[in-house]
């Protein structure tokens, strides 16, 4: 729940506003002069919406999603830190996506870019489950045809720690059967659907006809999602992030997820960017930075 007065200093007329979102959770609404927009919940520093200047929504958000302080939002961009998946003792995909972040800054730049920065630091609760000191910074930069999301991880403590960090981005597509991911041919993947089997991707275009859950190791920085049903593509450009994950739950897993509609697998695909293939180590006072730019190409 939010106190509206305290958010006034972040408001920029026509560019940034903080307001209650679903269930009263605070969200930052960014508007670009082109008409493009983005929304970021402070809960999880979770980008839940990105619209292009035509008003088309480019991110998937489940109609069944939770919007609650202790639960992740299903869709948009969950921030993964410090654990990917269930590979460790922490909650699935770590605690960043279920933490209350702070809004640190909003900005409208002379070149038109509208930006917001959110921060999260260790707390008694995080130290109870993960005994390290850290500072995270999530940056969201909205431009006319592109959205850049960056993640900075700082070790503010005296002990080194190991971590995974990723943007678990859900894209909205017209029809998963008319969707393809390009750019991963020749890349070694770990296939979660086959017990973690490693193999080299032979397909130029990854298409979907079953549950798909693969981590592509040391993936190229430029990937492309073709959403043929909407006659548009998303160019995905990552920097400082080594891996990519391609995920669609398909029919059976969709039915098992309480916060996801049974039929919604048809309108989404996750193309995730970050370091999830293995844990990275961060020395005291060191920092890691990665970012991904999503550019919408309409045809
Ligand atoms: O990144 C793919 C993945 O790890 C899948 O294995 C799948 O479980 C998905 O993330 C969603 O996880 P979640 O905890 O959000 O249900």
Write out pLDDT tens, residues 49-105. Answer: 999 999 999 999 999 999 999 999 999 999 999 999 998 999 999 999 999 999 999
Span 164-175, pLDDT tens digits: 999 999 999 999
Please work out whether the CB of residue 81 comes within 6 Å of at least one atom of ligand 1. no
- Residue 2 in this model has a pLDDT that exceeds 60: no
Report, as an integer, the average pLDDT of 183-190: 98
51 Cα distance to chain centroid:
15
pTM, whole model, 2 decimals? 0.97
Report, as an integer, the average pLDDT of 271-299: 96
Nearest CA among 233, 47, 267 for reference residue 139: 47
Please work out whether the CB of residue 247 comes within 6 Å of at least one atom of ligand 1. yes
Domain boundaries, the chain: 4-298
Report, as an integer, the average pLDDT of 202-216: 98
Q: How many CB atoms lie within 10 A of CB 195?
A: 7
- Residue 240 in this model has a pLDDT that exceeds 70: yes
189 Cα distance to chain centroid:
20
The protein residue whose alpha carbon is closest to atom 15 in ligand 1 is: 74
Span 127-164, pLDDT tens digits: 999 999 999 999 999 999 999 999 999 999 999 999 99
- Scan for tokens 């597509």, then name that residue: 173
Q: Which pLDDT value is given to residue 125?
A: 96
**Cα 34 to ligand 1 centroid, rounded to whole Å:** 34
The protein residue whose alpha carbon is closest to atom 13 in ligand 1 is: 92
Helix (H) or strand (E) holding 170: strand 170-172
Helix (H) or strand (E) holding 250: helix 250-256
Please work out whether the CB of residue 213 comes within 6 Å of at least one atom of ligand 1. yes
114: β partners: 108, 142
35 and 53 Cβ atoms separated by less than 8 Å:
yes
179 and 236 Cβ atoms separated by less than 8 Å:
no
Q: Which pLDDT value is given to residue 151?
A: 98
Q: Which pLDDT value is given to residue 4?
A: 53
Q: What is the CATH number of domain 4-298?
A: 2.70.98.10
Mean pLDDT taken over the chain = 97
Span 71-82, pLDDT tens digits: 999 999 999 999
Q: Which pLDDT value is given to residue 236?
A: 99
Q: Which pLDDT value is given to residue 87?
A: 86
């Amino acid at each position: 729940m939010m106190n509206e007065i305290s958010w006034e200093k972040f408001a920029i007329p026509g560019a940034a506003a903080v307001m209650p979102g679903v269930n009263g959770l605070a969200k930052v609404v960014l508007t670009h002069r082109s008409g493009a927009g983005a929304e970021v919940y402070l809960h999880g520093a979770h980008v839940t919406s990105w619209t292009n200047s035509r008003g088309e929504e480019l991110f998937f958000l489940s109609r069944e999603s939770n919007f609650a302080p202790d639960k992740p939002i299903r869709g948009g961009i969950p921030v993964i830190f410090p654990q990917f998946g269930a590979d460790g003792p922490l909650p699935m995909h770590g605690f960043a996506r279920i933490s209350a972040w702070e809004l640190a800054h909003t900005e409208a730049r002379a070149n038109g870019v509208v930006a917001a920065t959110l921060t999260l630091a260790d707390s008694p609760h995080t130290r109870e489950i993960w005994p390290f000191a850290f500072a995270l910074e999530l940056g969201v930069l909205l431009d006319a045809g592109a959205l850049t999301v960056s993640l900075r991880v700082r070790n503010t403590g005296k002990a080194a720690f190991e971590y995974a960090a990723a943007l678990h981005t859900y894209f909205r597509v017209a029809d998963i059967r008319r969707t393809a991911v390009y750019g991963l041919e020749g890349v070694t993947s770990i296939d979660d659907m086959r017990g973690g089997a490693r193999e080299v991707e032979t397909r130029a275009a990854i298409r979907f006809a079953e549950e798909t859950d693969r981590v592509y190791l040391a993936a190229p920085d430029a990937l492309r999602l073709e959403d043929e049903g909407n006659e548009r593509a998303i160019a995905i450009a990552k920097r400082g992030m080594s891996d990519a994950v391609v995920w669609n739950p398909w029919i059976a897993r969709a039915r098992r997820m309480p916060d996801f509609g049974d039929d919604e697998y048809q309108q989404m695909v996750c193309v995730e960017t970050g370091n999830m293939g293995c844990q990275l180590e961060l020395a005291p006072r060191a920092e890691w930075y990665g970012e991904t730019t999503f550019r919408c190409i309409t045809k």
